[in-house]
Structure 1
């Protein structure tokens, strides 16, 4: 009998997740019911959003149940099918679990993809997946950049931030990125074409604010916020009148108590707005966004990087790279 190795949640993390919060278990591969198909997961996407799903707290998706495998986006091949529209051998992607085999249902969140349409199927977890589409809709629908405006991105060297900055450049904006460390700041300038980069490491709010002021002397018209905490606090001090802030993530606060932004009053002073958004808000427009991203990649107008680690046994240390700032591109775990 084939066994299914699963990375399961056994305790709610208190702060940064630790090994005792999880367990690797081997279970029989489930039997299929009518309308279901079995996916052999080849790659899984490790994203900051997973940290929120580990808590027993209200969110846009239910918490991961204790004893269940961790929820992730996956790309894999169908091994067996009792679903009419899905055949064995098909490549699929969807919201599944961190395990070797997942059971998915026809008409659910797992759907066929064309593996031959991209250089690597991993691209469906990066530029052609939720990462790329988060940047696409966040920039083009939430922030709507105009030529000549100043666009600031926090977490700019990350998978979403690096794409968002490039989309801003393509729209004619002046793009400033905030990242951690000189190497990441150099990547923003040399690899992604940002106009300026700010290193937040080791800086107080006042010091970071001063650095942002030097990089954006005419103020900031748009913010693509991925970090929160002191980074957002410093950024808010540089908003121009009627600035737009797109709130994509707060990764600095996911493993601790919420910081509580001190400078939110700047939204009043500058008649600015802040808008949170989820890529799932645009599910009905994924074909449109995917086609637009594919065109930019094919034309050589968009650079994206993937950081691939291997082995389900390496799931936790790989996941923690997100919070240590050690990933260089979209963080993906290879299972096969």
Structure 2
């Protein structure tokens, strides 16, 4: 079995460069092979960085290298989607164990490049390093769409929407931790949704306020919106869309050995990578917005409203219970 140690750093970089050739775009003046890339954009650049680390974001037995490559790219794209940006270029910094199989490393990179190609994204450079655990850091460069969407533009009176079901991925993580490796919830973790088209559509719609991607849990990410915009939020917990598989699992669990609350996964779990957005004058605009987003491949649902700022950033609409929690890198671990 060939390993990275057996072939060395530079042949591996050459293999990556060959894989990346298929994703080359007209905006690449100079790509992989020089000290830096030279790129051409038509509009303002939108730049984001995302890292995936073994033992923090995933465990090796949960995903194949191919699945991990696709997941890493989709998770990073979620930030560009939340800003209404068009994906253009990617830089990849990889840390791998020297005894890692070459086939696994190539499988990860190949899947990542292939997933990016579908979105018009070209891999234009990066770095490789030996290290004790696998990690991949993606720097994505996009260009601004119709407008740059932000998280600090929510206003009291806005309705709150999400672009799809929440809670499936974090429930999948719970099952993976319990040793159940296969199922629709586990697959929700392995392959997050793509919301690039939805983000671009939101940038075209008048009345859209704040936008953020739901990566660390609905309550946590909505709290970021509230803090940035100096507002608070009320959530109608029962209206949060849940994956059918999560409802089925919760029902079966309650019959066997005690109940679980599927809404807890939706509120606090994370890894959903749907978009949360606020909408002004929802009565007038709601149908047009929902129709536009359905054409972009998602079914948005209202889940609450923005209210004037109080001491409680996010609460349940039914009884005013304060809602707090979500994923934190210096708190929860996978």
TM-score (norm 1): 0.29
Higher relative CO (Cα under 8 Å, sequence separation at least 6) belongs to 2
